[in-house]
Amino acid sequence: MNRELKIFLKHFCLLFLGLSMIFPFLWMAGASFKPNAEIEHLSLLPSEAHPDNYAIVLRQIPDPHTGQKLNLDFPKWYFNSFFVAAWVTSLQVLTSAMAAFAFSRLEWRGRDTVFLLYLGTMMVPSVVLMLPNYQVMVKLGLVNTYRGLILPMAFSAFGTFLLRQFMITLPRSYDEAAEIDGATPLQLFLDVILPLTRPGIVALAILTFLGNFQSFTWPLVMVKDDYLRTIPIGLLSFQTDYGQQTELIMAATVMNIVPLIALFIVMQRQLVSGIQLGGVKG
């Protein structure tokens, strides 16, 4: 087999795999513009576009099946997802950076042992921790509140590990120079270490936001009232309250994932470089 044929087959396989992965997204986008009668068709494009599906989801016009606007507050769910994800991302980046600084730049007895135990929590499945976390939220009276959705997710062993990998690659001469200039540990952290760890912070922020924006299990456990629902939980209502209205579910899903895809495309270079640089030294 000559070299040109090998290259052709490699590109053909990659193209086939790429189309296989993107086809469900293309069908979803097309289905969001279809009428209900065509929703079962495998064709990507509708015979006639119905952008009204988006207006129905956003409660701008009534649902033609019932003649009334949907009793579903999608804009509120959208706000809740962004609000919770933004707060979790901010807190998780802050707590992870502080913990990483303590584990990488400060000298204290038992530091490495504590770090290994902290990393050990990554081996525990999140489902196992759900019941203890829920009991804590019940005791604190935070069930069915924004704080209950945010606080348990504000700490991350993975985030600490990622940022620590950045910080241990920074020369110790920075610390010594700062100490000579009279900098306190807090000033060293804020003015020296954090700016140099920016690629890792950006990567962690992107991963955390994407993960929490689509979080399903924890909000499902914590949320009881409709006004606190996030998008993944709210989308269940399209099934339970109004039956099988796939075209509306697809329209809502498109509005859900398009901002995340756009964020990933814009920030993918920073994300990849941040993860690569974080693995330079262990």
User: Is residue 63 a part of any domain in this protein?
Assistant: no
> Could you list the residue range(s) of the whole structural domain that residue 14 is in?
3-57
Question: Could you tell me if 258 and 191 lie in one domain?
Answer: yes
In this structure, what CATH number is given to the domain that contains residue 224?
A: 1.10.3720.10
274 within a domain of the structure (yes/no): yes
Would residue 245 count as lying in a domain? yes
Q: For the chain, what is the domain count?
A: 2
35 and 82, same domain (yes or no): no
Whether 66 is in a domain gets the answer no
Judgement on whether residues 125 and 171 belong to the same structural domain of the protein? yes
* Distance from C-alpha of 224 to C-alpha of 226, rounded to nearest angstrom: 7
Residue 35 resides in a domain: yes
Of the chain, the percentage scoring pLDDT greater than 70 comes to 93
266 and 214 housed in the same domain: yes
| pLDDT for position 147 | 93
Quick check: 169 pLDDT over 90?
no
Kindly report the CA angle at 192 between 188 and 198, in degrees rounded to 5? 130
pLDDT in tens, 112-123: 899 999 888 888
93-125 as b/e: b if 16+ CB within 10 A: beebbebbbbbbbeeeeeeeeebeebeeeeeee
- 151 pLDDT band, cuts 50/70/90, is very high
> What DSSP state is assigned to residue 101?
H
164 and 24 in a common domain: no
State the burial class of residue 41 (Cβ atoms within 10 Å of its Cβ: 0-12, 13-18, 19+). Answer: middle
Q: What average pLDDT does the chain have? A: 85
Query: Do both 144 and 271 map to the same domain?
Result: yes
Q: Which residue has the higher pLDDT, 125 or 243?
A: 125
Q: In this structure, is residue 239 part of a structural domain? A: yes
Task: Assess if residue 150 is contained within a domain.
Answer: yes
- Asked if residue 163 has pLDDT above 80, the reply is yes
Q: How confident is the model over 69-93, as pLDDT tens digits?
A: 877 888 889 899 999 999 999 999 9
Examine the pLDDT at 59 and tell me if it is beyond 60: yes
Query: Are 38 and 167 in a shared domain?
Result: no
Q: Do residues 117 and 85 both lie within one domain?
A: yes
pLDDT in tens, 6-33: 888 888 899 889 888 888 888 888 888 8
62 within domain boundaries: no
Same domain, 179 and 134: yes
Gap between the Cα atoms of 39 and 33, Å rounded: 9
148 and 88 part of one domain: yes
279 vs 216 pLDDT, higher one: 216
Q: Is 0.75 surpassed by the pTM of this model?
A: yes
Please indicate, yes or no, whether residues 133 and 238 belong to a single structural domain of this protein: yes
Give yes or no: residues 38 and 173 share one domain: no
Phi and psi at residue 63, to the nearest 5°: -75, 125
The pLDDT, as a whole number, for residue 281 is: 47
